[in-house]
Amino acid sequence: MASQSGPEAAEEHTSGADIQSFFDSAPPLKNSLEITDKLKEFLDKNSIPTRDGRANRVVCVTSGGTTVPLEQRCVRYIDNFSSGHRGAASTEYFLKAGYAVIFLYRRGTCQPFCRSLPDDPFLECFKFIDKSHVKVREPHSEAVKMAISDHHNVIEKGLLLKLPFTTIFEYLQMLQMVATSLSVLGPHAMFYLAAAVSDFYVPWKSMAEHKIQSGSGPLDMSLVQVPKMLAVLRKEWAPFAYCISFKLETDKNILLKKADMALSKYKMHVVVANELLTRKEEVVVVTGDGKVSVCRDKTQVDSDVEDPLIKLLVEKHSIHLEDSCS
Amino acid sequence: MASQSGPEAAEEHTSGADIQSFFDSAPPLKNSLEITDKLKEFLDKNSIPTRDGRANRVVCVTSGGTTVPLEQRCVRYIDNFSSGHRGAASTEYFLKAGYAVIFLYRRGTCQPFCRSLPDDPFLECFKFIDKSHVKVREPHSEAVKMAISDHHNVIEKGLLLKLPFTTIFEYLQMLQMVATSLSVLGPHAMFYLAAAVSDFYVPWKSMAEHKIQSGSGPLDMSLVQVPKMLAVLRKEWAPFAYCISFKLETDKNILLKKADMALSKYKMHVVVANELLTRKEEVVVVTGDGKVSVCRDKTQVDSDVEDPLIKLLVEKHSIHLEDSCS
């Protein structure tokens, strides 16, 4: 299993034609009208300046992994693993910092305010005490109350818009819709791209229509590289927004090198570098000014690395806003 | 994307050596002691004859799809799509028919008694009316009550044992553990193999240790066929159990041919043939005696094809038991 040349060569080749060909090959998004309406309603509410005259800040947090279908009538697909924990936690801290959040997430992954629940909270957290009265089982009562109340609170106030995706095709089409909508906010919009996006895909038209048959020999597959959309997001979709992308590697020796490369190649404002095994303890915030390591507060049992990370990013966003307005 | 020879050739090649090599290459199961204990407790309870002297019947229902990791520190994997709806519905009907059920299911897929709930029932079905009182939101109250009460009822009575898997390695190791345990029940045990099992895998030792790097060219992958375990299940793991496997195809022209082939090659008692687009409406029950089409009762809005299907299979299991004892 190997790609045919090094990563440097890779990213040189992303062109407008590659991107057009990716979107042309994508199956049309089923609920695009509904998404357009939801985005409009969300922006109508959250683009009005606050009482003290400050413009609202809006962040699009992407979360979870995308899938790549291998067959048109989809039975098999390649998936990128991501629990969505980072995106869910970060959404909570952005809301706390006063941002309105568009949470673009993979169906079935971790949801904001639901991180301390057991695996199957619906079946594990409740019991009926008689025919019509339900009760929360101990020891879950505090976690359940927080999850349900805090979640409904931000949804009802219109501060959190949740948009689910599954495939790489859905994800990139939805990201484009969100980005072109948010572009009206100029530098007040932020992108926090924590989703684990597939690097390779099978173009829809060259995909097997029916289920691939198993045979005696090995299965040989050839996947094409997904064009890098970060550059297009920065240049065309939302050119004034503050953009943060993530780099996850299992090999720490190449991590910072790849983070630097992403920063310069895609003109990101920040790249957050994280290593698979230590990602809940420490991340490195890479900007044009240098690298800052951010760690979880180890004196607290339940602390999150996203707490200091979002604080730092909000500060950097404020500086970006001052620079943009001066 | 193509396998190198036809399906007939394929299945000839499965040998004891292939199976040994698959298990040797698998990462060890993490919670095998815990599973052994749970199986022992479940069988101690459910292998005692009932009050009227009938032996208990136990079925192992497998449900949902397996994954194939592409990297040892798993970020990417190939997944087989299956909602787990068939397995969850069938489990309910087997319990209704008096069977005890081992539900071997993919994490995150549909659970018994939870089929009529919304997508994210935990967040959508409840609200806090004050700090300590929770209430079920309309229109979900009946569905929630059934899900929670019926589910807890069978769990508490020890009639339903739920065992979750994710990878093909976990699935086959757990199936072997369940099968060798259930073999003590002889013909009273049944296997209802509705899981969507991967056909191809990457042997653990030849797998990339680190995340595959994206490059400019296409990604070429070569996957090896998963040895067919059905024959081993029938011949060695649980030779007297009643075995039902499933054949799912998107192309109905090859479906029945493949079902017949599975029946004779793996010595299944029944193969249930289903086509992707119509699988909730109709299935074909294929046995050595012929083919019977089973349809959902279309006069009822909420009827399931699993209702008449399980009735038919329970009858066939009864005949198998009579034949085995005479």
Looking at residues B194-213, what average pLDDT do you find?
77
Q: Enumerate residues 6+ apart whose C-beta is below 8 A from B105.
A: B62, B63, B64, B84, B87, B88, B111, B162, B163, B164, B165, B195
CA distance linking residue A218 with residue B223, whole number of Å: 5
Please judge whether B135 and A135 are an interchain contact, meaning their C-beta atoms are less than 8 angstroms apart.
no
Pick from B149, B212, B216: which is nearest to A10 by CB? B216
Distance in angstroms (rounded) separating the CA atoms of residues A255 and A257: 6
Instruction: Share the mean pLDDT of chain B.
Output: 88
Q: Which of A140, A250, A276 to mutate to test the interface with B (most CBs of B within 10 A)?
A: A250
Angle, in degrees to the nearest 10, between helices A306-325 and A85-96: 60
pLDDT of the residue at A243 = 98
Q: How far apart are CA A304 and CA A283, in angstroms?
A: 11
Average of per-residue pLDDT across A186-195: 97
Inspect the interface and report whether the beta carbons of B212 and A250 lie closer than 8 Å.
no
B318–chain A nearest CA distance, Å: 33
CA distance B32 to B101: 19
Nearest by Cα to A244 from A286, A199, A291: A286
Nearest Cα residue to A128 out of B161, B150, B159: B150
Tell me what the mean pLDDT of segment B6-11 comes to: 40
Query: H-type helices in B193-305, by residue range?
Result: 230-232, 252-266
A 10 A CB-CB count for B160 gives 24
Q: DSSP string of B3-31?
A: ESS-HHHHHHT--HHHHHHHHHHSPPPTT
List the single best residue of A221, A253, A258 to mutate versus B (max B Cβ within 10 A). A221
Cβ atoms of B196 and A75 closer than 8 Å = yes
User: Are A54 and B49 a contacting pair, CB within 8 Å?
Assistant: no
Whether the pLDDT of residue A245 is over 90: the answer is yes
Question: Which residue in A11, A74, A215 is closest to B5 by CB distance?
Answer: A215
- Count Cα atoms within 13 angstroms, Cβ side, for B302: 4
CA-CA-CA-CA torsion sign (A76, A79, A83, A87) = negative
Give percent of chain B above pLDDT 70: 89
The residues near B15 (Cβ < 8 Å, ≥ 6 apart) are B227
Name the minimum distance, in Å, from the CA of A97 to any CA of chain B. 23
The reply to whether residue B250 touches residue A73, judged by beta carbons under 8 angstroms, is: yes
- Residue A276 predicted with pLDDT over 80: yes
- pLDDT, tens digit, 9 for 90 and up, residues B272-309: 999 988 999 999 999 999 999 999 999 999 899 999 99
Q: How far is A73 from chain B (nearest CA, A)?
A: 7
Nearest to B216 among A4, A79, A217 (CB): A4
pLDDT of residue B215: 58
- Once rounded to an integer, what is the mean pLDDT over residues A291-307? 96
CB contact under 8 A, A216 and B75: no
Query: Each residue of B43-83: pLDDT tens digit?
Result: 999 987 766 666 789 999 999 999 998 877 667 888 988 99
- Asked if A324 contacts A203 with a C-beta cutoff of 8 angstroms, the reply is no
The alpha-carbon gap from A179 to the nearest alpha carbon of chain B, in Å, equals 25
Residue with tokens 């801290």: A93
DSSP A135-186: EEPTT-HHHHHHHHHHHHHHHHTT-EEEEEE-BHHHHHHHHHHHHHHHGGGG
Give the model's pLDDT for residue A10: 42
* pLDDT of residue A138 exceeding 80: yes
What domains are there in chain B, each with its CATH number?
7-113+160-325 (3.40.50.10300)
- CA-to-CA distance for B173 and B161, rounded, in angstroms? 17
Distance of CA A78 to the CA centre of its chain: 18
Do residue A75 and residue B67 have CB atoms under 8 angstroms apart? Answer: no
Interface test with A, best of B250, B251, B253, B257 (most A CBs within 10 A): B250
From the list A79, A128, A210, the residue facing B145 with the nearest CB is A128
3-class DSSP state of A128 = strand
Give the residue carrying structure tokens 């698998």. B26
Cβ-nearest to B214 among A7, A209, A216:
A7
What are the tens digits of pLDDT across the range A160-169?
Answer: 999 999 999 9
Q: Identify the residue with better confidence: A170 or B56.
A: A170
Instruction: Inform me whether the pLDDT recorded for B162 exceeds 90.
Output: yes
Q: What are phi and psi of A80, to 5 degrees?
A: -105, 120
Nearest to B128 among A107, A119, A148 (CB): A148
**Which whole-number Å values give the CA distances from B150 to A114, A128, A292, B160, in the listed order?**
25, 11, 53, 11
Beta strands A76-80; B189-193: pairing state: unpaired
**Pick from A128, A202, A213: which is nearest to B149 by CB?**
A128
Q: Which residue has the higher pLDDT, B207 or B127?
A: B127
Residue B116, pLDDT score: 87
Residues in chain B within 8 Å Cβ distance of A64: none
Give the residue from chain B lying closest to A113, CA to CA. B123
Q: Smallest CA–CA separation between B322 and chain A, in Å?
A: 37
Report how many Cβ contacts below 8 Å link chain A to chain B.
254
Alpha carbons A294 and B66: distance in angstroms, whole number: 37
CB contact under 8 A, B77 and A78: yes
Residue partners of B16: CB distance under 8 A and separation at least 6 = none
Name chain B contacts of A218, Cβ cutoff 8 Å.
3-4, 200, 222-225
pLDDT band at B5 (very low <50, low <70, confident <90, very high): very low
- Considering only CB atoms, which chain B residues are within 8 Å of A132? 141, 145
Distance (Å) from the alpha carbon of A15 to chain B's nearest alpha carbon: 12
| Tens-place pLDDT, residues A24-40 | 888 889 999 999 999 99
